[in-house]
Amino acid sequence: MTSIDSDAKIPNNVDLAGDRRLQRALEAWQPKFIEWWRALGPVAFQDRPVYLRTAIDVGQEGWANFDYVEMPDYRWGIFLAEPEPDRRIAFGDHLGEPVWHDVPGEHRADLRRLVVVQGDTEPASVEQQRHLCTTAPSLYDLRNLFQVNVEEGRHLWAMVYLLHRYFGRDGRDEADEMLERHSGDADNPRILGAFNEPTPDWLSFFMFTYFTDRDGKFQLASLRESGFDPLSRTCDFMLKEEAHHMFVGATGVGRVVERTVQLTKEHDTDDVRQFGGIDVPTLQRYLNFHCSVSLDLFGAETSTNAANYFAAGLKGRFHEERRVDDHRLHDETTTVPHATDDGIGEREAPALTALNETLRDDFIADCRKGIERWNRTLAGVDAELKLPHVGFNRNVGTFGSRRVSPDGQLVSEDDWQAHVAEWLPTADDRAFVESLMVGVTEAGKMAGWVAPPSSGIHARPVDFEYVVL
């Protein structure tokens, strides 16, 4: 395997030094990236030392280094997981054939599209979250926000490397466009809808990292199955970093829930807003919003694109090799949700075209685990959170033109308007949550709406100076 070049301008384990043209092209992209980071990355603290994890290796015995770094000096590098000897394509019409180490000509356009769509989400989320640093509930949380941000930056590097290395001139153009589209820009927005919504407050951030970064996990996990081996190895390594992003979401929401339960018990009321806590119905509405927006990211229930990607060996299923079927799916059928004027039912569909729904189902099952954990805390005050029905607040697919309540009833437009304030965050909810957002910058201190974490980062104490102000 290729060794790590950690002193290079761009740290990497892809032997950049052995390909001068590529190295020069990426070194020319690097200042544009830094310029983007300074302009559209975090709005403050860019010149402060932050205790950050940096990827430095891909091996089993530790792949990251923890130290103080000022974010513009972060060592964004290019790392691919170690190659699997004699790896074979695990699905589709090329099942059992050796994986590709270059882009097959006939799949070039599709692969480029997959890389561009994935890559676009990475800088998008940094842009969405750039204002949050001024209202972090603690230094610990501020550091976690920055950790997520710099790693999304590295994920952009991961995709830009693939574009430069394997897609020639078009790839270089696409890499430049990654820095030209901006989240929420009226003229040149990010590609996917959910990545054009701002992340206005920390409750939204925790929900975003729980649900939307988890969509990222499932996309990366199915691209890790790809027959295009460089894409597979890239995504494999990105998943290591992604786990922390979901940890931030799961423990973040968990700590809000814990604080809500504390305040409920202390004051013997579930109306905890007057005591600076976030009440369960508000948490539920935020959850409903972020869950439903993330469900849309998987696309329509049936898709010929998804079928083609699978048949061609470009994008597999979550945990493809653990599945017990023929991994070709030509003769298999499944059921997908189907909404009509009469109600919500199911219809049969070829398994091959229903792959978006299969991935969405896997995502929903994964989301459930966190909800169950939060509900164990909420059981102490007889409250619970629920995942909304898959059809709730959707804009894509069979539910896109329907109104569905969180418990899965088809409702009229009038009913929707009458109840939407119970189901989705209202202007009043947003204003209230916003009013709780005050930056806490004293080490070990925590804003009043969220409980402290149970432990610190990388064996440091919770009151460690994670960001030096």
The smaller minimum CB distance to Fe ion, of residues 152 and 301, is found at: 152
Cβ atoms < 10 Å from Cβ of 348: 11
Which span (211-219, 255-263, 276-284, 421-429) binds Fe ion, by CB under 5 A?
211-219
Distance of CA 386 to the CA centre of its chain: 21
**Distance in Å, CB of 11 to Fe ion, minimum:** 18
Contact map string, positions 416 to 445, toward Fe ion, x by CB under 5 A: ------------------------------
Site for Fe ion in 98-127 (CB under 5 A): 122
What one-character-per-residue DSSP string does 55-99 give? E---SSS--EEEEEEEGGG----B--PPPPTT-B--SGGGTTSBP
For residues 153 and 337, which CB has a smaller minimum distance to Fe ion in the complex?
Answer: 153
Residue closest to 60 by CA, chosen among 261, 197, 240, 276: 240
245 makes contact with Fe ion (CB under 5 A): yes
Which region among 69-77, 154-162, 225-233, 383-391 touches Fe ion (by CB under 5 A)? 154-162
- Site membership for Fe ion, residue 213 (CB under 5 A): yes
> Does residue 155 touch Fe ion according to CB under 5 A?
yes
Given a contact cutoff of 8 angstroms between Cβ atoms, the answer to whether 90 and 320 are in contact is yes
For Fe ion, the binding residues in 312-351 under the rule CB under 5 A are: none
Integer Cα distance of 62 and 56 in angstroms: 9
Count of chain residues binding Fe ion (CB under 5 A): 6
Residues numbered 19-48 forming contacts with Fe ion, rule: CB under 5 A: none
CA 102, 111, 228: angle at the middle one, nearest 5?
40
Closest approach, Cβ 209 to Fe ion, in A, equals 7
Q: How many residues does the chain have?
A: 469
Within 267-306, which residues bind Fe ion (CB under 5 A)? none
Min. distance of Cβ 389 from Fe ion in angstroms? 26
Closest CB 194 distance from Fe ion, rounded Å: 13
Report 214-243 residues binding Fe ion (CB under 5 A). 242
Contact range with Fe ion by CB under 5 A, out of 10-18, 147-155, 164-172, 402-410:
147-155
Q: How far is the CB of 203 from Fe ion (least distance, A)?
A: 18
Comparing C-alpha atoms, which of 248, 41, 211, 44 is closest to residue 129? 41
Residue 394 binds Fe ion, judged by CB under 5 A: no
Q: How far is the CB of 132 from Fe ion (least distance, A)?
A: 14
What are the angstrom distances between the C-alpha of 333 and each of 326, 399, 424?
A: 12, 21, 35
CB of 58 to Fe ion, least distance (A): 16
DSSP of 207-225: HIIIIIHHHHHHHHHHHTT
53 is an interface residue for Fe ion by CB under 5 A? no
Long-range contacts for 274-282 (Cβ within 8 Å, ≥24 apart)?
276/436, 276/448, 276/449, 277/448, 277/449, 278/203, 278/433, 278/436, 278/449, 280/378, 280/383, 280/385, 281/422, 282/425, 282/429, 282/432, 282/433
Stretch that binds Fe ion, among 2-10, 11-19, 101-109, 151-159 (CB under 5 A): 151-159
State the nearest-atom distance from the C-beta of 155 to Fe ion, in Å.
4
The residue among 13 and 144 lying less far from Fe ion, judged by its C-beta, is: 144
Residue type, 29: W
Distance CA(270)–CA(273), nearest Å, equals 9
Residues that bind Fe ion (CB under 5 A): 122, 152, 155, 213, 242, 245
